[in-house]
């Protein structure tokens, strides 16, 4: 979600995030940089697989012995020009075609898209709003036919409805029951079957797989927090069923073809005040309520006074089986409750499943989950409840370039009844507080985490944090007023993702490298088009090449639109970025994913035309339709090479 603040409603979404809610004093180390000079020596005894520069001082530095090894091929496409206008741009020799737009029908019988006359009933049968994460599930192993899954994170209501502002939720009667129904039905996710015909991707009408999941879809609550007293509501005395998923931002696909979709800024949907609430401190630790949506006017469950526990039932990773259209989505509580951005994952060497996830808010933490059981690639059904048993960890990044995964296990360390954690459900529902108690490192807004399956390294997008002051910098978050973010590399010890120990490095500090005050560290081979700010989503392709999608570049921040940048991670070109794709004004770039044969990249263009006073009636762009009366439409774009070759080569 975009929180860059160039919208006309600075008191709404922006405030919800800006406030921050982490009061802990973890890792406020002002002298860390000074202490880092000895880091290289300390690392000598560890099994780091890459060159490790002195993070925070010179990310381009490479040790001589590893510079020769370059396990990933370099990018070969012709870079596009950075800039900003009303359209999308792909490199020379590539086609970028809109595949599906907000409001497109999922079935032949679905209602047509009628801008200005939306209904919830119609939205529930159409592609939802603000597509973020994308996943591709091949059908029969094909790269020409498969299921596209898409998250629908939130709505830009000033672009959705005529005469409405984002913050009209606070003006009685302005955002009506009918509008709220539209909002709720355009949240969630979509599954659509798509096929490549005569070189163009299209949606397969009436596929039995086509499905909408909304803020009202019934879901199961599974794992250690299922049945917990803090999950009890009037509608669900058994504490095992919840209606809907909300603010699904990024996610991940499992190797057995299920979709992990992440509930992020769930605070936005809850209404009322935490002051005087029985769970006041707990709610405040999650910025609940934030009063950004007025769903509570018509649905009591979103009012924290009327349904005190409902918010505990959101903020989870949801697992959905796109191959079984009748399956019920499952909230996997073993993975913890926070503002999950994504669910980058890897099958560990011993077969256990590991999921990395960032908590996207200023000063929040990085987590990983390690399953108890092992992935069975021969028997898909055997993995069904794999994510219900395992250990959740939170990361501490130490100044010597090593790190520790600290277990969020009831009874271990400070997570005891004496400290208010009565059971594992408490630890998971209040994961942020557990992380505080464990001394986790407060990060610069952890967004997506992506595991490079070739090298085993995990990349953490730290999008920005303009609230970090000089006295709060640490080795892993080395810049005060970090406007442009950085990318952090986690290298598991011995390549084993289940171990507690790791090393880490900073791949790049983002921003304009021509401005010394910014302190950006792109490789000097990077052109003026090649640098970027605000990394958000990431995709490591089958060749181990890393693609970054950004959120927050704009005329005001970096003078360029958001988009995709390819970045080298190994060898002497490490830290060199190249601009691959860019979105229209007001949009953020999400979701990059490729077909297994790497000949198509799907990207999600989220909230085109948002911000800067742009409205339904006077939008800054009408991409992609450019028709009078039709507002900009969040859409998925398929990018292919005209010669059919591998993307980016």
Positions touching ligand FEO (CB under 6 A) are 1, 153, 249, 264, 341, 360, 447
Q: Residue 536 Cβ, how far from Ca ion at the closest point, in Å?
A: 4
- CB nearer to Ca ion: give 187 or 299: 187
User: Mapping DSSP to helix (H, G, I), strand (E, B) and coil, where does residue 462 land?
Assistant: strand
Q: Which stretch binds Ca ion (CB under 5 A): 9-17, 139-147, 548-556, 566-574?
A: 548-556
Bridge pairing between strands 211-213 and 188-197: antiparallel
Tally of residues, the chain:
649
Q: Residue 186 Cβ, how far from ligand FEO at the closest point, in Å?
A: 16
- CB nearer to ligand FEO: give 521 or 557: 557
Q: Residue 271 Cβ, how far from ligand FEO at the closest point, in Å?
A: 20
- CB nearer to Ca ion: give 361 or 448: 448
- Say if CB 386 and CB 371 are below 8 A apart: yes
Query: Which does residue 568 bind out of ligand FEO, Ca ion, none, counting CB within 5 to 8 angstroms by kind?
Result: none
Interface residue with Ca ion among 36, 122, 196, 249 (CB under 5 A) is 249
- CB nearer to Ca ion: give 336 or 571: 336
- CB nearer to ligand FEO: give 322 or 485: 485
- CB nearer to Ca ion: give 322 or 571: 322
Q: Residue 550 Cβ, how far from ligand FEO at the closest point, in Å?
A: 11
- Which residue is at the shortest CB distance from Ca ion? 551
d(CA 300, CA 494): 51
Query: Which does residue 319 bind out of ligand FEO, Ca ion, none, counting CB within 5 to 8 angstroms by kind?
Result: none
Q: Residue 28 Cβ, how far from Ca ion at the closest point, in Å?
A: 25
DSSP assignment of 353-410, as one string? EEEEEEB-SBT--EEEEEEEEE--SS-GGGGTTGGGSEEEEEEEE-TTSEEEEEE--T
Residue 220, phi then psi, degrees to nearest 5: -90, 145
List of residues 6+ apart from 265 with CB closer than 8 A: 1, 13, 16, 17, 154, 247, 249, 290, 339, 360
Query: Which does residue 361 bind out of ligand FEO, Ca ion, none, counting CB within 5 to 8 angstroms by kind?
Result: none
Query: Which does residue 474 bind out of Ca ion, ligand FEO, none, counting CB within 5 to 8 angstroms by kind?
Result: none
| Tokens linked to 311 | 């918010």
Query: Which does residue 364 bind out of ligand FEO, Ca ion, none, counting CB within 5 to 8 angstroms by kind?
Result: none
- CB nearer to ligand FEO: give 158 or 551: 551
Residue 120, phi then psi, degrees to nearest 5: -60, -40
Q: Which stretch binds Ca ion (CB under 5 A): 122-130, 246-254, 477-485, 608-616?
A: 246-254
List of residues 6+ apart from 637 with CB closer than 8 A: 88, 96, 97, 98, 99, 602, 603, 604, 605
- CB nearer to ligand FEO: give 310 or 448: 448
Query: Which does residue 86 bind out of ligand FEO, Ca ion, none, counting CB within 5 to 8 angstroms by kind?
Result: none
Q: Residue 603 Cβ, how far from ligand FEO at the closest point, in Å?
A: 15
d(CA 485, CA 464): 4
Q: Residue 437 Cβ, how far from ligand FEO at the closest point, in Å?
A: 24
**Interaction residues for Ca ion, span 166-205 (CB under 5 A):** none
- Say if CB 213 and CB 190 are below 8 A apart: yes
Query: Which does residue 153 bind out of ligand FEO, Ca ion, none, counting CB within 5 to 8 angstroms by kind?
Result: ligand FEO
Name the E strands within 518-646: 535-540, 546-550, 563-567, 577-582, 588-594, 600-606, 635-641
Q: Residue 293 Cβ, how far from ligand FEO at the closest point, in Å?
A: 15
Q: Residue 251 Cβ, how far from ligand FEO at the closest point, in Å?
A: 11
Q: Residue 264 Cβ, how far from ligand FEO at the closest point, in Å?
A: 5
Query: Which does residue 400 bind out of ligand FEO, Ca ion, none, counting CB within 5 to 8 angstroms by kind?
Result: none
Angle at 631 between CA 628 and CA 635, to 5 degrees: 125
d(CA 647, CA 543): 11
DSSP assignment of 486-525, as one string? EEEEEEEGGG-TTSSEEEEEEEEE-S-TT-TTT-----TT
Interface residue with Ca ion among 193, 489, 551, 570 (CB under 5 A) is 551
Q: Residue 133 Cβ, how far from Ca ion at the closest point, in Å?
A: 7
Q: Residue 446 Cβ, how far from ligand FEO at the closest point, in Å?
A: 9
Alpha helices, DSSP H, located in 253-389: 280-285
Q: Please tell me the count of residues contacting Ca ion according to CB under 5 A.
A: 7
Q: Residue 360 Cβ, how far from ligand FEO at the closest point, in Å?
A: 4
- The DSSP letter of residue 474 is B
Where does residue 235 fall: left (phi above 0), alpha (psi -120 to 50 degrees), or beta otherwise? alpha
- CB nearer to ligand FEO: give 360 or 400: 360
Bridge pairing between strands 330-332 and 218-222: parallel
Q: How many CA atoms lie within 13 A of 117 on its CB side?
A: 5
- CB nearer to ligand FEO: give 428 or 549: 549
**Interaction residues for Ca ion, span 516-545 (CB under 5 A):** 536-537
List of residues 6+ apart from 643 with CB closer than 8 A: 93
Residue 380 neighbours by CB distance under 10 Å: 15
Query: Which does residue 263 bind out of ligand FEO, Ca ion, none, counting CB within 5 to 8 angstroms by kind?
Result: none
Residue 303: beta bridge partners? 271
- CB nearer to ligand FEO: give 301 or 339: 339
Bridge pairing between strands 402-407 and 501-509: antiparallel
**Interaction residues for Ca ion, span 401-460 (CB under 5 A):** 447-448, 450
Cα dihedral 29, 35, 39, 42, rounded to 10, equals -100
Query: Which does residue 264 bind out of Ca ion, ligand FEO, none, counting CB within 5 to 8 angstroms by kind?
Result: ligand FEO
Query: Which does residue 448 bind out of ligand FEO, Ca ion, none, counting CB within 5 to 8 angstroms by kind?
Result: Ca ion
- CB nearer to ligand FEO: give 43 or 461: 461
- CB nearer to ligand FEO: give 153 or 319: 153
- The residues of the shown chain that bind Ca ion, judged by CB under 5 A, are 249, 447-448, 450, 536-537, 551
């Amino acid at each position: 979600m975009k929180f860059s603040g160039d919208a006309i409603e600075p008191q709404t979404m922006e405030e919800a995030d800006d406030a921050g809610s982490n009061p802990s004093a973890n890792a406020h180390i002002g002298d860390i940089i000074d202490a880092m000079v000895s880091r290289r020596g300390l690392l000598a005894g560890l099994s780091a697989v890459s060159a490790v520069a002195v993070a925070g001082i010179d990310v381009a530095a490479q040790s001589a012995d590893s510079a020769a090894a370059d396990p990933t091929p370099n990018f070969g496409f012709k870079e596009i020009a950075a800039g900003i206008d009303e359209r999308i741009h792909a490199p020379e020799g590539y086609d970028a075609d809109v595949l599906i737009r907000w409001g497109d029908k999922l079935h032949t019988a679905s209602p047509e898209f009628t801008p200005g006359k939306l209904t919830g009933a119609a939205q529930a049968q159409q592609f939802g709003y603000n597509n973020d994460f994308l996943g591709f599930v091949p059908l029969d192993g094909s790269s020409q036919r498969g299921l596209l899954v898409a998250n629908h994170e939130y709505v830009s209501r000033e672009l959705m409805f005529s005469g409405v502002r984002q913050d009209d939720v606070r003006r009685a009667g302005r955002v009506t029951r009918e509008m709220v129904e539209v909002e709720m039905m355009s949240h969630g996710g979509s599954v659509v079957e798509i096929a490549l015909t005569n070189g163009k991707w299209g949606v397969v009408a009436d596929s039995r797989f086509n499905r909408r999941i909304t803020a009202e879809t019934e879901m199961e609550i599974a794992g250690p927090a299922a049945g917990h007293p803090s999950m009890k509501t009037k509608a669900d005395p058994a504490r095992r069923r919840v209606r809907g998923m909300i603010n699904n931002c990024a996610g991940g696909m499992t190797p057995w073809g299920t979709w992990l979709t992440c509930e992020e800024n769930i605070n936005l949907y809850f209404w009322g005040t935490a002051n005087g609430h029985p769970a006041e401190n707990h709610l405040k630790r999650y910025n609940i309520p934030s009063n950004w949506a007025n769903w509570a006017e018509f649905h009591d469950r979103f009012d924290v006074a009327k349904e005190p526990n409902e918010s505990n039932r959101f903020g989870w990773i949801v697992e959905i089986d796109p191959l079984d259209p009748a399956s019920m989505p499952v909230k996997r509580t073993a993975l913890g409750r926070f503002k999950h951005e994504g669910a980058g994952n890897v099958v560990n060497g011993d077969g256990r499943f590991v999921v990395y996830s960032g908590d996207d808010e200023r000063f929040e933490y990085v987590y990983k989950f390690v399953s108890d059981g092992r992935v069975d690639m021969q028997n898909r059904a055997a993995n069904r409840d794999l994510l219900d048993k395992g250990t959740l960890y939170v990361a501490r990044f130490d100044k010597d370039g090593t790190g520790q995964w600290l277990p969020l296990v009831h009874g271990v360390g400070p997570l005891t009844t004496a400290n208010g954690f009565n059971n594992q459900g408490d630890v998971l529902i209040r994961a942020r507080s557990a992380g505080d108690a464990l001394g986790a490192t407060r990060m610069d807004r952890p967004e997506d985490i992506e595991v490079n399956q070739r090298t085993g390294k995990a990349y953490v997008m730290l999008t920005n944090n303009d609230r970090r002051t000089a006295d709060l910098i640490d080795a892993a978050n080395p810049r005060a007023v970090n406007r442009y973010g950085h990318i952090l590399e986690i290298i598991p010890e011995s390549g084993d993702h289940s171990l507690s120990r790791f090393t880490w490095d900073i791949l790049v500090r983002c921003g304009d490298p021509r401005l010394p005050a910014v302190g950006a560290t792109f490789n000097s081979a990077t052109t003026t088009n090649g640098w970027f700010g605000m990394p958000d989503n990431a995709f490591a392709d089958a060749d181990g090449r890393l693609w970054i999608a950004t959120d927050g570049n704009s005329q005001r921040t970096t003078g360029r639109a958001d988009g995709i940048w390819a970045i080298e991670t190994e060898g002497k070109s490490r830290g060199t970025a190249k601009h691959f794709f860019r979105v229209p004004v007001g949009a953020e770039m999400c979701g990059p994913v490729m077909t297994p044969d790497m000949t198509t990249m799907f990207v999600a263009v989220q909230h085109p035309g948002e911000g800067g006073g742009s409205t339904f009636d006077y939008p800054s762009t009408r991409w992609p339709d450019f028709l009078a009366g039709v507002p900009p439409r969040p859409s998925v774009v398929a990018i292919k090479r005209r010669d059919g070759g591998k993307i980016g080569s």
